[in-house]
Chain A
Amino acid sequence: MLRKKECVAMLLAGGQGSRLYALTNNIAKPAVAFGAKYRIIDFPLSNCINSGIDTVGVLTQYEPLELNEYIGNGQPWDLDRAFGGVHILSPYQAKKKQSWFEGTANAIYQNMHFMKKYNPDYVLILSGDHIYKMDYAAMLRAHKATGADCTIAAIEVPMKEAPRFGILNTNADGTIYEFEEKPKVPKSNLASMGIYIFTAEKLFKYLEEDEANPNSSKDFGKDILPTMLAAGEKMFSYRFKGYWKDVGTISSLWESNMDLLGADPAFDVSSNDWKIHSRNPLAPPEYVGEKAVIENALVALGCEIEGTVQNSVLASNVIVEEGAVVRDSVIMAGTVVKAGAVVDYSIIDENVTIEKGATVGEPKAKGVGIAVLGRGITVAEGASVAGGKILDKDYKGE
């Protein structure tokens, strides 16, 4: 019997995430830390395994080192499999040519051999940019039930935000009659989530045709989907209701982290029925000291908190010394906030040192904007980083 997988997932993880500025200087966006112990890619990977999809190709291009290391053999997601599992797919040199991935469609095209190895009936295309929990198996059932050639997951967004998305115009039965990429005047507020299920043979056919077309930008949203629609293929929308957030900007990344806080959070990572798997830090339980004040916070292992932490998300091994204050902020692993320092309304990357008495950011109520400190930098003793400022080098003050 031919060994096969019914559905193979292809996860586009090559994006630079340039709107995250200093946070993606040296790492790909899907590897950006999120929610105290996760990275963005944990969400699509966990969704895959929880949906019973155990074969995932992760397409990397921009600064892949850390992402590759993080995914490793896939064991934290139960994706270390003898047949299937998670595989990193990087651009490669071939006999005829060598090339970077030129667009989302081209990236998938270049890895056709990977998909074909599993002889799949369906291919699920994902991106590594979003925080959400979704049962792809339910979407696949819908795809099969409608007999679609392509099913696009879609979510209703506020009308005023619709021009930022690919908008689906659909009939009452969910069939798509028009696809508009970032329309100025949207006809509907049904946004594409960038999650597609294709019937494999159709996908392969259109990828090959698109590759041969010199005028194509080799993009799913701009080329493949409109071409399929024009050719009269059956394209359905699949309505998703639930939390879904693009964390591609500083403010959306901050908001999404804050959405985890509270007794009844907008997005719950703690439920056991849809577990979010991740590579776990090797660290002891966090220690909260004698003089600490800690309220409305999410804290990972290995932290040592002697100061005040409010409305914040702290990743593993963060140290907040006595008298230091962290408010309305996201602090990534290994960062040290020394005695008397104040961090307000900021995102601080990994292994940053904020020396004694320094201030970073300004109170959220002032509305100045989120301060961002890039990986590994030091803010000198007593220095003051203004709200909204983005730094990727050591800072000694103005």
Chain B
Amino acid sequence: MARSTVGVIFSNIHDENIPEISSHRTMASVPFGGRYRLIDFALSNMVNSGITTVGIVTKNNYQSLIDHLGSGKDWDLARKDGGIILLPPYSNETDKPYSTRLEALMGITSFLRHRNEDYVVISDCDGIAHMNIGDIVNYHEEKGADITMVYHEEKEPSESSYFITLQPDQEGRITGLKINPSDLKKGKKYNLYINIMIMSREFLINTIQSAVQRGFSSFGRDILAKKVNTLKIYGYEFKGYYAAVDSLQDYYKHSMELLNKPVREELFGARDIYTKVRDSAPSKYLTGAVVKDSLISDGCVIEGTVENCILFRGVKIGKGTQVKNCVLMQDTVIGENVKLESVITDKNVVIRDRRTLAGCAELPYFVSKGRML
């Protein structure tokens, strides 16, 4: 149990990874896996590890996030002491809202000061994993680390705009840390930092303060990379299933991975992933429906053929329609005799009768929120 740990989740960092889906919402509120938002995974991991206070750092477009989180009760985080605490950007007439992680942390120092937990776990929302934070806190304590960074071994170098590779020694201590290295080779294994780190609350507050005094602006470049030899930075290898949403292609690929039973069992089997409750009716399969190898959420009504698809809540599939290899987000309505292949629809999309749309696995066809085709 990570009882004495407070969570901090960055909801906006990585927004630029999938502009198609996050142009009008935070990365945290990107829908995933039929009935979840990306933040549900980070939040549920914290809640399942016994964390009862989570500060959520926001910057812009956070209306859908606030709507999703509500009072926090669906995560059991509507608490008298703690619970979900939204941390909107702090700005006055002269300052702009933060532009780096370090500036964002500076903006939440009063939140950190007012807490009494020993440790802080800082997480982004771009990763999908089922992770026990308590194990990482224990590791951090055991090692007597200043900072513990969580990494995952990746064969394919990521194409995201900003990433960090770590070189731990045998003890797990990080001896080398590279930001956006340009010499990555395909097929070689890298220890990719997955944007989750732990440090003591006191250490974090002190680090932020001294960074302010010195005019630092980047947590990665000015603190982690510069102090890799002076600070005790440890790496914790996460060995489970980990999916980073770095692009629309990635989003599509990882969505489809949910159709593999081992992935589903690891993510959903052992522990609960909490999400906003919508009180949808159970999904309904009508006469003539053909459904194969698909994830179907509540509130769906299916009369056509659905193969290898992820259907979010409230999706309607009309008669004579065939959808294959598609991700259809909440309340998408597909008319009759439509053919869709490798299509991602955002929320509230309407595809009218007899339309045909096709993308391919490398480049899914994306239909943005609320469009009618």
Contact = CB atoms under 8 A, between A and B. Distances in A.
Interface of A: 35-37, 75-76, 261-263, 269-270, 275-278, 280, 282-292, 294-301, 309, 313
B286 A263 contact: yes
A285 B291 contact: no
14 contacts: A35-B282, A37-B298, A75-B73, A269-B281, A270-B299, A284-B295, A285-B298, A286-B297, A287-B259, A287-B264, A292-B291, A294-B289, A295-B287, A297-B284
A259 to B, nearest CB: 13
B194 interface: no
Contact of A263 (B73, B296, B299, B303): B303
A296 B287 contact: yes
Interface centre among A261, A262, A275, A297 (most CB of B within 10 A): A297
A294 B293 CA distance: 12
B185 interface: no
B104 to A, nearest CB: 31
Contact of A294 (B33, B73, B291): B291
B120 interface: no
Interface centre among A261, A278, A300, A301 (most CB of B within 10 A): A301
Contacts of B261: 287
A296 B296 contact: no
A58 B291 CA distance: 41
Interface size class of B (residues with CB under 8 A): 35 or more
A289 B292 contact: yes
B289 A295 contact: yes
A287 to B, nearest CB: 6
B125 to A, nearest CB: 19
B284 A284 contact: no
Contacts, number: 102
Contacts of B273: 282, 284
Interface of B: 33-35, 73, 259, 261, 264, 267-268, 272-274, 277, 279-289, 291-299, 301, 303, 310-311
A263 B284 CA distance: 9
Given A270-B301, A275-B279, A280-B277, A285 B296 contact: yes
A289 B290 CA distance: 11
A298 B284 contact: yes
A314 to B, nearest CB: 8
Interface centre among B73, B272, B281, B296 (most CB of A within 10 A): B281
B288 A295 contact: yes
Contacts of A300: 282-283, 298
Contacts of B285: 294-299, 309
Contacts of A285: 33-35, 295-298, 310-311
Contacts of B296: 285-288, 299
Nearest to A291: B292
A76 B294 CA distance: 29
A269 B281 CA distance: 6
A290 B282 CA distance: 21
A123 B282 CA distance: 33
Nearest to B280: A270
B268 A284 contact: yes
A193 B33 CA distance: 43
